[in-house]
Structure 1
Amino acid sequence: MPEGHSIHRLARQFQDVFVGAPVRASSPQGRFADGAALLDGHTPVRAWAHGKHFFLDFEHALTLNVHLGMYGAWTFGGDETFAAASSIGAPRRIGETEDHSGPASAEPPAPRPTVRLRLEAEHGWADLIGATTCRVLTPEEVGEVTAKLGPDPLNDDAPDLFVSRAARTRRPIGVVLMDQSMVGGIGNIYRAEVLFRAGLDPWRPAKDVGEEALRALYADNQALMREGVRLGRIVTTAPEHRPGVPAEQAWPEHANYVYHRQGRPCRVCGRDAIVVEEMAARKLYRCTVCQG
């Protein structure tokens, strides 16, 4: 599932290349025909994200809301003026880079049968497939969705609500960080990496972590996710643990500490101590020495 930095990159892309001019909306698959009809011919005025939810506000006070889930993805294309990532979402691509291979054209190809929503603008197009959620909301309904979400570090939300909620639960901190009602946008990779960087055992009850450490976790996630927005990929290693390798070249070999690194020496302690376990039906990666 794409983590929060990818959804914020998606919002930035829509803001840059779709906002401000009318779009043609259709549902080649047919499952979103009524929703597409509500948006067709209208003008996006703002693209934004909260956690793993993407929102596209239109001038007639309706909002497109998409949650990609495990299998959703946006695919983009356009003419030579359309500078955008080729794909954001699943299946996971190697980063999210501009791709203008082949003839540049604002005319989209024939849609695949799985395209839930197609948006077309003057210079490009976007296709959505496989999303868990794709709906059109009123302003009141948008408020109901965001009210259920925890603070989003990438929106510069204060950490107070996360800290106060986490400090009252005995659930493991590794579970709490993945709970979108506690904090928005953190997924399996950021969860594993930020806990390693903090030297915290993911199984420790959140209330035992302490307010100062909870605030530090939030701030570190904020910094790492901002770097993810900049790079288009998740890089969590500090420069001293990838000497001579800049962040732009770190992925995948030098990008992470524990995620998908079970059976390999830890970059910090040097021991063969990275394990993969199951926590709340998701894989959990940790170093049993550094996070013991």
Structure 2
Amino acid sequence: MPEGHVLHRLARLHQRRYGGKPVRVGSPQGRFADDAALIDGRVLRRADAWGKHLFHHYEPGLVAHVHLGIYGAFSEFALNGLDGPPDPIGQVRMRMLGPDYGADLRGPMVCEVIDEGGVADVLARLGPDPLRADADPAVAWNRVSRSRRSIASLLMDQSVFAGVGNIYRSEVLFRHGIDPMRPGVSISRAEFDAMWADLVAMMKVGERRGQIVVVRPEDDHGAPSYRAGRPRTYVYRRAGEACRICGSPVLFTELEGRNLFWCPACQH
């Protein structure tokens, strides 16, 4: 599932491509057709993101709300010099057409038109987002410091940390030497503040570069990444491999249906 930096990157791109302009919106697949008709031809005032949710704010107060889920993705195409947009390929839930660019959305978990009250309802279920300038980390700290759930579980809870996914979860815990099974109540404020600041920094790099970069330059050598073309990780998807710092085998378990990776020597 895409992590929060992907949605912020999309929001920034869509604001640049379509913001302040009328946008033709349709649903070649048909499943979004009724909602698409509500915003078709309206001006996109603003595109923004909160956690893993993308919002396109149209005049007058209608909002296209997208959650990509596991399989959702946007693809973009240029319209300059074309007689018309290309034929849709596959199951395109939503197609956006601006003056110069178009975008197709396939496979989202959520694609709907809501009003600003509906946006408020979505945000009420989410914790602070490290990529938002208006984020209040104290909200997350209050939830962490009162919980006996593991910090690994809390980091993936979108009502506590909006936008943090499995890679950032495993890697920030490694970078701060924290056992993922420690309960939230055992995390000190200093540890929390350091993790929050690190998430902000790492996710900003992810938004800017379009890749999750978590390994410090001095450690960025040795065994290759878990996948070609991806930056190295410290522990994510490295089960059984040697820790890049101490050489201990990286451990793996399943926690609440998601894979978790950590080094037993560096994180204790």
TM-score with structure 1 setting the length: 0.86
Counterpart residue number, 1:31:
31
**Which among 218, 237, 249 is matched to residue 240 of structure 1?**
218
1:137 paired to 2:75: no
Unmatched 5+ stretches in structure 1 = 81-103, 244-249
Contact 2:79 2:102 in 1 (8 A): no
Note the C-alpha offset of 1:79: 4.2
Note the C-alpha offset of 1:263: 2.5
Give SS of 2:233's match: coil
Counterpart residue number, 1:107:
84
Unmatched 5+ stretches in structure 2 = 222-227
Counterpart residue number, 2:44:
44
Q: Return the letter of the residue paired with 2:199.
A: N
Q: Return the letter of the residue paired with 1:28.
A: P
* Runs of 4+ deviating beyond 4 Å: none
Q: Return the letter of the residue paired with 1:287.
A: C
Partner Cα separation in structure 2 for residue 106 and residue 256 of structure 1: 45
Greater Cα offset, 205-214 or 174-183: 205-214
Q: Return the letter of the residue paired with 1:29.
A: Q
**Which among 139, 158, 169 is matched to residue 147 of structure 2?**
169
Counterpart residue number, 1:283:
259
Give SS of 2:61's match: coil
Counterpart residue number, 1:59:
59
TM-score with structure 2 setting the length: 0.94
1:192 paired to 2:170: yes
Compared CA separation, residues 251 and 267, structure 1 to 2 (3 A): farther
Compared CA separation, residues 105 and 274, structure 1 to 2 (3 A): farther
Partner Cα separation in structure 2 for residue 113 and residue 21 of structure 1: 27
Partner Cα separation in structure 2 for residue 187 and residue 226 of structure 1: 14
Give SS of 1:177's match: helix
For each residue in 1:77-109, what CA deviation from the matched residue of structure 2 results, as whole angstroms up to 9, or x when unmatched?
Answer: 1046xxxxxxxxxxxxxxxxxxxxxxx748332
Give SS of 1:199's match: coil
For each residue in 1:30-49, what CA deviation from the matched residue of structure 2 results, as whole angstroms up to 9, or x when unmatched?
Answer: 11111100011101010000
Partner Cα separation in structure 2 for residue 44 and residue 31 of structure 1: 21
Contact 1:106 1:125 in 2 (8 A): no
- In percent, how many aligned pairs have the same letter? 46
**Which among 185, 193, 201 is matched to residue 215 of structure 1?**
193
Partner Cα separation in structure 2 for residue 217 and residue 79 of structure 1: 43
